C-alpha cells in the first residue's frame, strides 16, 4: 500500500495533511479538558487616557498554558473553540472569571474603570445570552457599568434581528459595547447607525502605519472623525511607541492601548499596579461619564 501511494506521488503531502488535521483534532480535545484542568486563565491589558497616562479600563485576554505545547495563542485556540462548539463554555468562563476579578478589585477598593471582555459571534447568536450575562453579573456582584463587551466588526455581518435586540437589552442593563478591530471587517456603515454602541477600537494594523503611510493616516483620521461625530468613544489599538500615541492624539483620539504602555499581564501584577495607582491618586475617573 505504501509503495502504491508513493508511486502516485502524494504520499508526503497526504501524510503532512493528516498530521496537521490530527494535531487540530488533538488540540480540540485538549481544549475541552483545559477548562477543568486550570490551564486557561486571563491576562489584562490596560486601556489608557493618552493625555494623562491614566488607566481607564482593562481588556481581559484569554491565555492557554498547554502542558506539552506550552503557551498557545488565542488567535489559535479561539477560532478552534468556535469550530468545535467550545466557544460558548469558554466564553462564559471568561465572562465569569473577569466579573469575579472585577468584584475582587472593587472589594479591595482598587479602581479599574471597566473590564472589557471579548465576545465571539456564536455566543451572541444564542438566544439566551443576555439572560446568562445577567445571571453571571448577579452571581459575581459586579455592577454592570464596570463591564464592557467587545464584538469584532467582522462578527456584525452575521447579526440578525434577534441578536441586535439582545444587544439592546444588554446595553439597557448598563453594560457598554465596543466594536473591536474596527476597519478590518466588511460591515456596512449602516450598522453604526443601528447598533447600540459606545466605543470603536481602531484595528492595530492601521496604527502600525500611522507614522509614514498616508493611507493609514487618512483611514485613521476618517474613523476618528466619524466615530466622534456619532458620539462614540474611539480607542486606538496597538500603540507601540510614544510617537504612535502622539500621532493619534494629533487626530483628536485620546484613548489607546498597546505594548508602549503595558503588555497584557496576570491579575496579580495588575493588582500591584492598581494598588500603587490608588495610593497616589485616589480620585478615579470612569471611562464613560454616565450618559444613559
Ligand atoms: P483583540 O481583542 O483585538 O485583543 C488585542 C490583541 O492585541 C491582544 O492579542 C493583545 O495582546 C494585542 N496587542 C495589544 N497591544 C499591542 C501592541 O502594541 N502591539 C501588538 N502587536 N499587539 C498588541 P492576544 O492576547 O494574542 O489576543 C488575540 C485575539 O484573540 C484578541 O484580539 C481577541 O480577538 C481574541 N481573544 C482573546 N481572548 C479572548 C476571549 O476571551 N474571547 C474571545 N472571543 N476572543 C478572545
Ligand atoms: Mg478585543
Ligand atoms: Mg482588537
Ligand atoms: Mg485583534
Instruction: Quick: pLDDT tens for 200-242.
Output: 999 999 999 999 999 999 999 999 999 999 999 999 999 999 9
| Ligand 3: centre distance to CA 180 (Å) | 5
Whose cell is 466619524? That residue is 226
Cβ of 92 closer than 6 Å to ligand 1, yes or no, is no
d(CA 125, CA 122): 5
Q: Identify the three-state secondary structure at position 256.
A: strand
**Nearest to residue 136, comparing CAs of 170, 167, 159?**
170
| Ligand 2: centre distance to CA 199 (Å) | 12
pLDDT of residue 281: 64
Cβ of 241 closer than 6 Å to ligand 1, yes or no, is no
C-alpha cell at 138: 448577579
Cβ of 264 closer than 6 Å to ligand 1, yes or no, is yes
pLDDT tens, per residue, the chain with 292 residues: 444 444 454 545 556 668 888 888 899 999 999 988 899 999 999 999 999 999 999 999 999 999 999 999 999 999 999 999 999 999 999 999 999 999 999 999 999 999 999 999 999 999 899 999 999 999 999 999 999 999 999 888 888 889 999 999 999 999 999 999 999 987 788 888 888 899 999 999 999 999 999 999 999 999 999 999 999 999 999 999 999 999 999 999 999 999 999 999 999 999 999 999 887 764 444 444 443 3
**Nearest to residue 213, comparing CAs of 183, 247, 241, 184?**
247
**Nearest ligand, CA 182:** 3
Cβ of 120 closer than 6 Å to ligand 1, yes or no, is yes
HEC letters along 181-250: EECCCCCCCHHHHHCCCCEEEECHHHHCCCCCCHHHHHHHHHHHHHHHHCCCEEEECCCCCHHHHHHHHH
Name the pTM for this structure: 0.92
d(CA 220, CA 197): 19
ipTM score over 0.85, yes or no: yes
pLDDT of residue 24: 87
Amino acid at each position: 500500500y505504501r509503495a502504491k501511494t508513493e508511486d502516485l506521488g502524494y504520499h508526503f503531502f497526504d501524510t503532512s495533511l493528516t498530521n496537521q488535521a490530527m494535531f487540530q483534532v488533538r488540540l480540540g480535545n485538549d481544549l475541552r479538558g483545559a477548562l477543568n484542568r486550570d490551564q486557561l486563565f486571563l491576562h489584562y491589558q490596560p486601556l489608557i487616557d493618552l493625555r494623562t497616562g491614566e488607566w481607564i479600563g482593562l481588556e481581559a485576554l484569554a491565555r492557554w498554558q498547554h502542558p506539552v505545547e506550552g503557551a498557545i495563542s488565542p488567535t489559535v485556540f479561539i477560532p478552534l473553540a468556535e469550530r468545535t462548539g467550545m466557544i460558548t463554555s469558554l466564553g462564559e468562563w471568561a465572562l465569569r472569571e473577569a466579573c469575579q476579578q472585577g468584584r475582587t478589585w472593587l472589594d479591595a477598593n482598587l479602581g479599574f474603570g471597566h473590564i472589557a471582555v471579548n465576545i465571539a459571534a456564536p455566543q451572541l447568536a444564542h438566544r439566551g445570552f443576555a439572560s446568562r450575562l445577567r445571571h453571571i453579573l448577579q452571581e459575581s456582584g459586579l455592577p454592570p457599568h464596570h463591564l464592557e463587551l467587545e464584538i469584532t466588526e467582522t462578527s456584525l455581518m452575521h447579526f440578525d434581528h434577534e441578536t441586535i435586540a439582545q444587544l439592546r437589552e444588554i446595553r439597557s442593563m448598563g453594560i457598554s459595547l465596543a466594536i473591536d478591530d474596527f476597519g478590518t471587517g466588511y460591515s456596512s456603515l449602516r450598522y453604526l447607525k443601528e447598533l447600540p454602541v459606545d466605543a470603536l477600537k481602531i484595528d492595530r494594523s492601521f496604527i502600525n502605519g500611522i507614522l509614514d503611510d498616508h493611507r493609514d493616516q487618512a483611514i485613521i483620521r476618517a474613523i476618528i472623525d466619524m466615530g466622534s461625530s456619532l458620539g462614540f468613544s474611539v480607542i486606538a489599538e496597538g500603540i507601540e511607541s510614544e510617537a504612535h500615541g502622539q500621532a493619534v492624539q494629533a487626530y483628536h483620539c485620546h484613548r489607546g492601548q498597546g505594548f508602549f504602555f503595558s503588555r497584557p499581564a496576570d491579575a496579580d501584577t495588575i493588582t500591584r499596579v492598581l494598588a500603587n495607582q490608588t495610593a497616589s491618586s485616589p480620585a478615579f475617573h470612569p471611562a464613560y461619564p454616565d450618559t444613559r
